[in-house]
Amino acid sequence: MAHAAEALYARDGSPVVDLMAQEGVRALMTALPRIAHNPRDALGRGDALYGCWLCGMCLGTVGMSLHHKLCHTLGGSFDLPHAETHAVICRMRSATTSAALGARERLSEAMGGGEPARMLHELARQLGAPIALRDIGMPEDGIDRAADLAVQHPYWNPRTVERDAIRAMLRRAWGRGATDNRPSAVVTGARSAENTNMRESNEDKHHRGRAGARQGCRRFAGARDKRGIGAPSSRLHSRGSNPP
C-alpha cells in the first residue's frame, strides 16, 4: 500500500498511475479485514491479490520518495522487519507529505473518506499490525542516527527534507505510532524552485488527464462486461475455488 501512497505524489506520476494507486488502496482496505476475520475467504483473498498487483505496478512505473528512504534506512541500519516497518511508517507519511499535489485527498477518496493516517491506524489495529517502531525492535537511542542517515543522499521528495522534522517524525513513530496529522517541516518547509514548478505543472497535468483516464477505464470496463469477464473476485467465485 505504501507503493500506491507514494505514487500519488511521484515526480513522474500520471493520471493512469493515480487510478491504479487509488484502486489498489481501495481493494486492500476492504480485503485485508475480511481475510483477518476469515483466512479462507476466497473473494477477500482474490481482491487482496488484485490490490497487491496494482500497488506493485505503481512501484514498477514511478519512483518512490521519502517513505521508502526511511524504511530502507531503518531496515538496513537496525535490522527491522521490512513489512512491519512499512506498516508503521506509512501512517506517519500519510499524515505529512501525502498532502503534496492533492495526494492526501486522493488517498482519502480511495479509503472511503476520512483522514488517511487515522484510517491506516485503525486498519493496523484490526489486523494486529505493529503500531510503533519500538514494538518491532527499534532502539530509542537509534533515532538520531536514523535521522542523520535519512538526510544523506535523500530520494526525491516534493518537499524539502529537513533533519529536525525527520527526527520528530521518527520519535513519534517510535513512541506510539501516528494517529495525528500535525504539521511537519517535512511538509511545510521551504520548497525549491524546481519543486514549486513541478507542483504547478503536475496539478495542471492531473486536472487535464484524470477525466480522460477515467473515461478510458470506463470504456474498458464496459467492454469487459460485454465479454463476460468479471473482476478477480468474481472469477474466483464463479469457479468456486477455495484457498489452500
pLDDT digits (tens, 9 = 90+) for 65-92: 889 999 999 999 999 999 999 999 988 8
- Supply the pTM of this predicted model: 0.71
pLDDT of 190 > 50? The answer is no
Nearest to 150 by CA among 93, 75, 66: 66
What is the Cβ-side half-sphere exposure of residue 138, based on CA atoms within 13 angstroms? 33
pLDDT of 110 > 90? The answer is yes
What CATH number did the domain enclosing 197 receive? 1.20.1090.10
**202-235, pLDDT tens digit by residue?**
445 444 445 555 555 555 445 545 544 444 444 3
CA distances from 117 to 29, 40, 98 (A): 13, 29, 10
pLDDT of 14 > 60? The answer is yes
Q: What is the Cα–Cα distance from 35 to 19, expressed in whole angstroms?
A: 24
Alpha carbon 39 to chain centroid distance?
23
Residue 45 lies in a domain: yes
CB 62 within 8 A of CB 12: yes
Q: What is the Cα–Cα distance from 13 to 155, expressed in whole angstroms?
A: 15
Residue 25 lies in a domain: yes
Give mean pLDDT, residues 6-26. Answer: 95
Q: What is the Cα–Cα distance from 72 to 70, expressed in whole angstroms?
A: 6
Residue 244 lies in a domain: no
Query: 97 or 66: whose pLDDT is higher?
Result: 66
**C-alpha cell of 98?**
501525502
**C-alpha cell of 101?**
499535489
Query: 171 or 223: whose pLDDT is higher?
Result: 171
Mean pLDDT lowest for which of 4-13, 50-59, 217-226?
A: 217-226
pLDDT value, residue 94: 72
Query: 138 or 154: whose pLDDT is higher?
Result: 138
User: Could you give the 3-state DSSP secondary structure of residue 134?
Assistant: helix
At residue 114 the predicted structure's pLDDT band, cuts being 50, 70 and 90, is confident
Instruction: Kindly report the three-state secondary structure assignment for every residue of 57-96.
Output: HHHHHCCCCHHHHHHHHHHHHHCCCHHHHHHHHHHHHHCC
Per the structure, the complete domain to which residue 132 belongs is given by 2-239
Residue 33 lies in a domain: yes
Query: 59 or 101: whose pLDDT is higher?
Result: 59
| Number of structural domains found in the chain | 1
